[in-house]
Structure 1
Amino acid sequence: MPSDQPLHAMSIDVEDYFHVAALSGVIKPEQWPTLPSRVEQNTRKLLDLFERHQVKATFFVLGWVAEHYPELVREIDRAGHEIASHGYSHQLIYRQSPETFLQETRRSKALLEDLTGKAVQGYRAASYSITKDSLWALDILAECGFRWDSSIFPVRHDNYGIPGSPRAPYTIRTENGALLQEFPLTTARVLGLPVPAAGGGYFRQFPYPLFRYLFNNASGNGHRPQMFYLHPWEVDPEQPRFNNASWFSRFRHYTNLDKCEQRLEQLLKDFRFSTVSESFRAYSPERQTLSTRQILGIA
């Protein structure tokens, strides 16, 4: 690949198949310990893939996973990848109280720091659930000592998104005056409209040539770093199936699981990737600083 390509951010949201929002209607948190876990084997599959391609990534680890599989967190850290927080219980932030969110965020951060002996500086919300209704969470992230976030998706979606928010990395000035770096999820512009091109279900559902085009389009044809994300369960076509979920949830969750690993191999050949922090550092243009009102488009 051309060495003058931007250094994109490769990120993995470390959660199990039973944690996802698409299946929350049929799987309750109290059932999680009773279900066969596959997060260790799937995460190790990704670790092996990154080692083959000499890529470092940021792993946003769910606190529940860290608590139940601490050696997995240590293994990710020993391999030289960046550890960041994915919260504790994978609940949508806008359905939590600020008090509960603060408690869970502190708990998850402390777990990860105890396991690695390193400060955890980055955060990603479950299902990108920092929206116009939960911007208060940014002050809590700053209070907990996070320096950057990657939770804001500049699209319109039924579960997440702040339409019209910036597409390139920027600095947020929170309501309490704290500064937090934001690396939004990738969107391309097609006919003037934002099209998600960040990974996950979009990566699996779009034909790979289309996704590659959109990802390159989002980067300004190779000028701006972008954010890619995936979950370990997305490279696991053998995971248990929950046929009592709605057809739409099954479509979102199970489509093209058997093709995802091969597509990821190709993506790693087509673009340059590293951790979120390295991608931040490599992005030289001065980032604009916006208040939460400005993120929402309010002057």
Structure 2
Amino acid sequence: MILLSFDIEEFDMPFEYSKDISFEDQMQISIEGSHKILDLLEKHEVRATFFSTATFAIHAPEIIERIKRAGHELASHTYYHSDFKVPHLRESREKLEALSGMKVTGFRMPRMMPVDEKEVAKAGYTYNSSINPTFLPGRYNNLHISRTYYMQDNVLQIPASVSPLVRFPLFWLSFHNLPLNLYSWMAKKTYQKDQYLNIYFHPWEFTDLDDFERFGFPGYVRKNTGVKMEERLDRFIAKMKKNQLPFGTFQEFIRTIQK
């Protein structure tokens, strides 16, 4: 099963590049991108999982309603995207459930940062997808961690997908920077090896990020954003469906592996 997921959040990434962006602009960009994602998923009749901060959900009720109406899964991306305290684990889950009326069982830390699995379990989650099991200088050093799902402290860990052998990450940055045919080939090979694929994106990738003065992003971040990203994801989903690879939510995937 292909697990498409989207981290829907306040778009605070420009702060990492010493650029100011108002909260209103953060939300507008993420809301517009989320609508584009939902339109694509509807076109292809694909269900996905949306890891939402509570803050985003509070300020974007129309997105949460579309997610629910379309049969997608809602999961937690903690309360705020750039501020984390342990109580936010439970608080974000409870807020998302109250706002949506949906059962929230999954969690992902912003920026795939480490989190105490015992606290994740205590907060009421059954799975966590906060690990990128690869090595990226200055970000991750997780070569010692399993490439595929495993249990830890009563929480099912579902790492982001990386290729077999060299553990090349198949996350959003490689989707933007590799030729699409090469990325698709690597994704299919990984699927054949693992029998599933876990890849994630963000709604702000569907905005043209080429304005360096506004966002400050280097070329590898802003490459193939905006309309180009819409076209690439459209083509990727079509390629995978042509190969008869099924798509589903994390909750649906978990039911298949627990049989």
Q: 1:196 aligns with which of 154, 163, 169?
A: 169
Shift of 1:112: 0.6
- 1:279 alignment partner, SS class: helix
Shift of 1:201: 1.2
Gaps of 5+ in 2: 241-245
Asked if 1:126 corresponds to 2:110, the answer is yes
Rg larger for? 1
Letter matched to residue 255 of structure 2: R
Residue deviations 1:88-140, cap 9 Å, x none?
2223xxxx7xxx5222222321221111122210001101112xxx4xx2111
CA distance in 1, matches of 2:249, 2:64: 16
CA distance in 2, matches of 1:119, 1:36: 24
CA distance in 1, matches of 2:173, 2:20: 22
Q: 2:42 aligns with which of 37, 40, 51?
A: 51
- After TM superposition, the structure 1 = structure 2 runs for residues 39-188 of structure 1, keeping only pairs within 5 Å, are 39-91=30-82, 101-130=85-114, 134=115, 137-157=116-136, 158-173=138-153, 179-188=154-163
* Contact 1:243–1:250 (Cα < 8 Å) also in 2: no
Alignment match, 2:224: 256
CA distance in 2, matches of 1:275, 1:216: 18
* Contact 2:58–2:99 (Cα < 8 Å) also in 1: no
Alignment match, 2:9: 15
Letter matched to residue 170 of structure 1: Y
Shift of 1:240: 7.8
* Contact 2:4–2:247 (Cα < 8 Å) also in 1: yes
* Contact 1:9–1:57 (Cα < 8 Å) also in 2: yes
- 1:106 alignment partner, SS class: helix
CA distance in 2, matches of 1:104, 1:263: 35
* Contact 1:10–1:274 (Cα < 8 Å) also in 2: yes
1:34/1:230 Cα in 2 relative to 1: closer, same or farther (>3 Å)?
A: closer
TM-score by length of 1: 0.77
CA distance in 2, matches of 1:105, 1:39: 22
Q: 1:273 aligns with which of 240, 243, 247?
A: 247
- Percent identical across equivalent pairs? 27
CA distance in 1, matches of 2:76, 2:172: 18
Residue deviations 1:166-217, cap 9 Å, x none?
11111112xxxxx00111101003xx421011x3111011111111121122
201-210 or 254-263, which deviates more: 254-263
TM-score by length of 2: 0.87
* Contact 2:96–2:104 (Cα < 8 Å) also in 1: yes
Aligned residues: 252
Cα RMSD for the two superposed structures? 2.4
CA distance in 1, matches of 2:214, 2:48: 34
* Contact 1:73–1:112 (Cα < 8 Å) also in 2: no
Gaps of 5+ in 1: 1-6, 174-178, 286-299
* Contact 2:78–2:110 (Cα < 8 Å) also in 1: yes
Shift of 1:284: 6.4
- 2:132 alignment partner, SS class: coil
Alignment match, 1:296: none
Shift of 1:144: 0.5
